Chains A and B, each alone.
Chain A
């Protein structure tokens, strides 16, 4: 019983999942498979401007539907993926793309971690060098003599 139950459940789950993925596509007709794939990529990349962090493929908001329609239309007009993303950003701002573009304002997203590591490493280097310097502080002749005396006394007693 259990032996065939598990694969069956897996197949059923997969069938359900495929069903959902299919339903989201609204049974659109594409001129070719390449356009269908690009449509899927783009609708997963673009973020719905009205919803809490859903992409337009997964949202039922009217504006997400409009953006899917526009993506479909522009694809068939021969727009490239970049041109379609630009088209959306021109109207709905960079909010609709998940991956921020590199500008003076956003370049810190990449620079800040690097700066953090560099400054942290410099700090650690500086600290370790400082502690080494204090331990290597030269001894005066008087101090040397005292150490020698202690050492001598130590070896005598043992």
Chain B
């Protein structure tokens, strides 16, 4: 009877499951992390005004050109304040950053940019979170990496600092064409 290995099938199944659970437990897999539905898809159409001028209408076409980061921010968001100085330094290094002022008030946004400097080449005013909804944004800050053909290559949730930029995001930005 050399078919005895069959008897070990249940044990193999149990240990396989234990291994899976153990991996999730010890590898610190973040179960709250949700994939982005928009990675690999083109930037959706939108029609919103600029933060600094209610008369300036901005659309998807307004952003055409070099690859850019689209950064969702708000004055009510503490992590955005933490992230802001690093965005300023990225902008000074020539990284193109498009801001989306998310579910905020124009006056508060303008005060903030006057106080803490403005890293945004273009700043879009999205008071109802419409563009945010199209992109599957759940909160701020959230940053989308968009290439020159307008395709979303990556989405990063949470504040960007030098560590996460150097270790992960810079490579994604540099790879975009």
Could you list which residues of chain A lie within 8 angstroms of chain B, going by C-beta atoms?
A: 49-50, 52, 62-63, 66, 70, 89-93, 95, 116, 119-120, 123, 126-127, 130
Contacts and interface: CB of A to CB of B under 8 A. Distances in A.
B37 A62 contact: no
A54 to B, nearest CB: 13
Closest 7 CB pairs of A and B: A93-B37, A91-B136, A50-B138, A95-B34, A63-B138, A92-B136, A49-B138
A90 B133 CA distance: 10
Interface of chain A, main secondary structure: helix
A91 B133 contact: yes
B9 A63 contact: no
B121 interface: no
Nearest to A67: B133
Interface string B22-43: 0000000000101111100000
A126 B3 CA distance: 10
Contact of B136 (A93, A116, A126): A93
Interface in B102-149: 103, 129, 133-139
Contacts of B7: 123, 127
Given A93-B36, A123-B7, 4 more contacts: A50-B138, A62-B129, A66-B129, A90-B37
Interface of chain B, main secondary structure: loop
Interface of B: 1, 3, 6-7, 9-10, 13, 32, 34-38, 103, 129, 133-139
19 contacts: A49-B136, A49-B138, A52-B32, A62-B139, A63-B138, A66-B129, A89-B37, A91-B133, A91-B135, A91-B136, A92-B37, A92-B138, A93-B34, A93-B36, A95-B34, A123-B6, A123-B7, A126-B6, A127-B7
B134 A91 contact: yes
B132 to A, nearest CB: 8
Contacts, number: 45
Contacts of A120: 10
A148 to B, nearest CB: 31
Nearest to A126: B6
Contacts of A95: 34-35
Given A123-B9, A126-B6, A50 B37 contact: no
Contact of A130 (B1, B32, B35): B1
A63 B34 contact: no
B130 to A, nearest CB: 9
A119 B139 CA distance: 46
A67 to B, nearest CB: 8
Nearest to B31: A52
B133 A93 contact: no
Nearest to A96: B34
A10 to B, nearest CB: 39
Given A49-B138, A52-B32, A91 B1 contact: no
B129 A93 contact: no
